[in-house]
Structure 1
């Protein structure tokens, strides 16, 4: 009898826990699409933004192709019983296209399964070509994690994470590796790829490897000060907070290549949050140049 009571209590507890886990696909989903081909091509760093009403799902897919960000609308159906998300056919850029400007589209449809636990929610599935492209367009496998950070990051009253905050006013004794990084940084050419005018004064940064994980390691330098020592890039965000120096006409952010990985040069996707506005850019560095951007504080 005692064992039966314990079993009943355990089952009730499991039901309560299960009911507390989100069984919908609302939100921002981040991850990488892996092209299913034996040849080496750039994978797809992606964000899927979904809104669910009943069984109907609508939203957008943002993905990087070459060095450009592409946005496309999505629609589909989610079945809570099977936790299956089916996305209707939509266009994506053919993987062998040379660029976004000089590209052709092919239609794919999506079949995903929601795997939800107390710690994380994941959409795992595949984009597959339609009947006309089945034998010419490889499938793209995705594992997308739901992010609870995106909306929180734009809250004005959110406390700053201490481990990520860059206190530019406080000088810390640099390690030998950091001294070497700054010496090499000064020998390379800064190549400015973008200029932004932001409201600031505090910016949130996210840095990802934008393609196949090939063991790229980079450092970040802000206004000629090392803010991120040697760190390996992957598909998880490296997050930092920086304070703009208003005494400067421009603030400069540079990515320094610590190595060239397996597939030179070192490439990364940088996302900058300026309040509620999000900016995205592509960085490419090697042993001769530092990918850099200029940031100006908007006046008035």
Structure 2
């Protein structure tokens, strides 16, 4: 009898897990790619209650695009998504002369449908944002797992079902994302002096300075290179006991857009952690740890108020440990965890 009950419970758990995975897979939150008004588009949608937000990229190539912030809402009874280009955040012109995508802000309305086998589509129509009576073409978007353009919303999308669907996190990332890059709308006026005819006298000899060699611009460092090159500064050593340890990371001061990556024993375990006044929680099983372990916090950026600072609270057994971690472009904070059997 007990064996039968355990078997039934196990089956229920499996079914519940599958249902949760399917529900997560069929969310409108995610990356969508296709065409709107015959323009190539990558759309990042994040759902918060009934509202939608994120970014839209109208592009010809990775070097020729316009990026807008978007706002909208989801009509769940009719499975209808409605969004519009809210604010132009970034404009990048290419060299190919293939045209300039995304010149006009659009309002789109599309059915959210899942024909099956993991396929999800948004299909509908787009109009001018400022004149909804002027149709501007059709909407054909497919959900994809890998973005072509990377921005602040990637963290929320990647971790949406693991806690990043918290409205406070979504609002915080939205504030970070809303810093538009200045857009050049007109060419600068260049003053040209009038042409003066030279006299018959021969022109003076002008010494020509040799051209300086071109300056090479180094590619930005990857997070792995930052980890390898920066000095690791020990902050605290903590004894570990029990079955697991729980680590909570907060922004140490004013929330200013700090983001970090965590390395454990030289291995990347979490990246794009945006620090707020709510904890980002990491749980580590003690059985998988070494006798001596190094957890390194690498600053991905310095926020608007350098340096990058975080406040860590560790719960190990019945004890609580606190540490203020500081990282910058030259150093990373390091916490050492040591099993008590070795101490």
TM-score normalised by structure 1 residue count:
0.39
Higher percent of residues as helix? 2
**Larger Rg computed on CA atoms:** 2
Q: Which structure carries more relative contact order (alpha carbon 8 Å, separation 6+)?
A: 1
Q: Which has the higher strand share?
A: 1
- Relative to the length of structure 2, the TM-score reads 0.34
